[in-house]
Amino acid sequence: SVNPDLGSERQTASFSVERLTALLDGGAEQTRIRRAVVDAIESDPVFSRENQYFQTQNERYEAAVRKAVHLQKKMHEMGWTENGPEYKYIYRALSGDVAFLLHRVFMRSISVLGSDTQIAKWIPLATQHKLIGSYAQTELGHGTYLQGLETTAVFDTATQEFILNTPKISAMKWWPGDMGRSATHTVVFAQLYIHGKCYGIHPFIVQIRSLQDHSLCPGITAGDIGPKMNFEHIDNGYLLLKNVRIPRENMLSKFCEVRPDGTYVRQGSQKINYFTMTTVRISLIADEVLTPLMKACTIAVRYSVVRRQSKLKPGEEEAKILDYQTQQEKLLPQLAAAYAFHFVNDYLQELFNRGYREIQRKNFDMLPELHALSSGFKAVITQHCTAGVEICLRACGGHGYSMLSGLPSLYTKILASCIYEGENTILLLQTARFLIKCFMAASAGQPVPPSVTYLAAVKHGKCPAKNKLDFLSPDIYTEAYQHVAVRLTSNTAAKLQDLIQSGVKKHDAWNQCTVQLVQAAKAHCHYIAVKNFAETVEKLETKAGIQKIMKHLCDLFALHGIFSNTGAFLHDGYTSAAQMDMVTASYLDLLAVIRKDAVPLVDAFDFTDKSLNSALGSSDGQVYQRLYEWAQKSPTNQMSPAYERYLKPLLHNTLSKL
């Protein structure tokens, strides 16, 4: 039975939840396929996540391997293929809780970097899981800065082999997933040396464990790097190479080849490589970043209409905590952000698909823009969503802090997205570099990519808003965001120029501007996110209340951003203090409006109770019962040796019932 405090929230929805779900999925047919996949996975006990919060790291790893192996059978059984429409929903349905993800990266790297012969040899073996692959790039001492990697691969013409070594401890491979315990093979990135000359970083296929008994191969030291904040199910590993010999054929050689005599040959364009990073950064947004935020919002919003605490008015019943303005101000902007970034993701996907088509026609013109946008948005979205999940967790008070709420795991997992696939600050600086370049070009009258043409149009006007309702006009707020982005970019460009002209070396000058460059890059992405949301709303169907509620969320997303960052808008007087008070008023008004639809808005994300795996957030709102039921199953309710060992000797002197 549904808790009436939750049930009543659903009766007043201003829009059709089912239609909004279809919009998020990209059509009702997609919704149907997704639900079928989720059903199939969740009804299979092998994929169960029950009791997950009670498992040790070892148990989590074992379960993830079990699921990965079972998934192959399941796909076969269900007729799902890697190119089928179901495929993209599988990972989400498993909540990512499965091994051998790096096996897929291993395969992709061979497909992209390998020669046709190499592809023909390795891909079928990998596809049939006759080996388990990993991808060994990061080292103890080097992450983002690939050129600094220290592992070496020396070509030995005599034996036609590469000799791989870890010259010092900081060169040890560290972090690769699936490598700590599972992998038999890995792609190792190493500095290539031929006849004493270094040719830079290249990829090599290296076998690390025996296919017979899984023992480590000669010269290999490998293991698991131990506990992490999350990802207990993944065996992130370390790898130390000591004179490991591999055949010449094991260097992935689509772009570079070493001939038998040691001649180094570079062939084709490597620009496509550059594109791979972009692909990964865009592809992680939906599953690794948006889904956790949407889950956190679902949990926190549902809990906030079931939890009652204190009285808003004396004499009345205790109030639902979502009726407090401060609680609304915590949660509703996160909900708006989840929708805003969902649409940004659509935008990036579309841009990416266009870019991909161009690249296949050997036109690489879109790459810089695509790289800048994917880097910037990877950083901005992961940062924003991580903060959002944390806000949801804290907004649930003590119960949010229990693992059984599901929120701690969502938080500790999404946090990693700020670090992996490019550390966020470094990515933002790459976006900033692009912005500065484009700003200079635009100022000089040269053409620039579409997303940055606005930089050319530096206007010194004022915000025309006259009353608080004007701030519900997308033109008004989008232009304000644009103004800020232009100002931050142009001011930082000017500072950079000034420093250089005053004699500061170029690299020092850049370093002295980086805090402000990061601000400019964020403002650029924020502007595009707002603009994109507004444009998306414009095109939505007006039926079933969809456009109306999305317009509210778009306004909230935009005004929350201004309210949280007033200085950027006030700085040069574009927005006046009086206008800022209007923003605040409109923003706070909106909270009360959207609060009414809060539950339907999270229901539209369409998570099953099993996928939420939360004692606070399930669709029936029976929070307290579930917390109690789940807690009783905890291993901490088994007998502890602490009683016999320590407590009994203390207490046995107490004579009787006191």
Q: Rounded to an integer, what distance in angstroms lies between the CA atom of residue 161 and that of residue 258?
A: 10
Does 150 participate in catalysis according to the annotation?
no
- Closest distance between a copy of itself and the C-beta of residue 188, in Å? 15
CA torsion through residues 185, 187, 193, 194, sign: positive
Name the 3-class secondary structure at 165: strand
Is the CB of 330 or the CB of 342 nearer to a copy of itself? 330
Name the 3-class secondary structure at 264: strand
Which of 421, 423, 538, 644 is the catalytic position? 421
Half-sphere exposure of 186 (CA within 13 A, CB side): 35
Q: Rounded to an integer, what distance in angstroms lies between the CA atom of residue 530 and that of residue 527?
A: 5
CB 552 within 8 A of CB 587: no
177 annotated as ligand-binding: yes
List Cβ neighbours of 477 (8 Å cut-off, separation of 6 or more).
Answer: 471, 530, 555, 558, 559, 562
Strand ranges (DSSP E) for 251-381?
256-258, 264-266
CA torsion through residues 579, 585, 588, 594, sign: negative
Q: Which two tokens stand for residue 505?
A: 């070396």
Q: Is 396 left (phi over 0), alpha (psi -120 to 50) or beta?
A: alpha
Q: Rounded to an integer, what distance in angstroms lies between the CA atom of residue 580 and that of residue 470?
A: 12
Q: Rounded to an integer, what distance in angstroms lies between the CA atom of residue 404 and that of residue 632?
A: 12
Q: Which two tokens stand for residue 320?
A: 């639902």
- Closest distance between a copy of itself and the C-beta of residue 170, in Å? 5
138 annotated as ligand-binding: yes
Kindly give the interhelix angle for 424-443 and 367-395, rounded to the nearest 10 degrees. Answer: 140
Of the candidates 121, 143, 144, the one whose C-alpha atom is nearest the C-alpha of residue 131 is 121
Is the CB of 238 or the CB of 439 nearer to a copy of itself? 238
Half-sphere exposure of 440 (CA within 13 A, CB side): 10
- Closest distance between a copy of itself and the C-beta of residue 254, in Å? 19
Q: Rounded to an integer, what distance in angstroms lies between the CA atom of residue 453 and that of residue 555?
A: 24
Q: Which two tokens stand for residue 287?
A: 């599953």
Q: Rounded to an integer, what distance in angstroms lies between the CA atom of residue 289 and that of residue 388?
A: 10
Residue 189 backbone dihedrals phi, psi, to 5 degrees: -90, 125
- How many Cβ atoms sit within 10 Å of the Cβ of residue 229? 12
Query: Where does 451-573 have alpha helices with state H?
Result: 474-501, 506-539, 546-563, 566-570
- Closest distance between a copy of itself and the C-beta of residue 311, in Å? 8
- How many Cβ atoms sit within 10 Å of the Cβ of residue 485? 25
Q: Rounded to an integer, what distance in angstroms lies between the CA atom of residue 335 and that of residue 299?
A: 11
**323 residue type, one letter:** D
- Closest distance between a copy of itself and the C-beta of residue 541, in Å? 33
Q: Match 């998020």 to its residue by tokens.
A: 24
Of the candidates 485, 496, 487, the one whose C-alpha atom is nearest the C-alpha of residue 523 is 485
Is the CB of 105 or the CB of 194 nearer to a copy of itself? 105
Binding residue ranges for FAD: 138, 177
What residues are annotated to the active site?
421
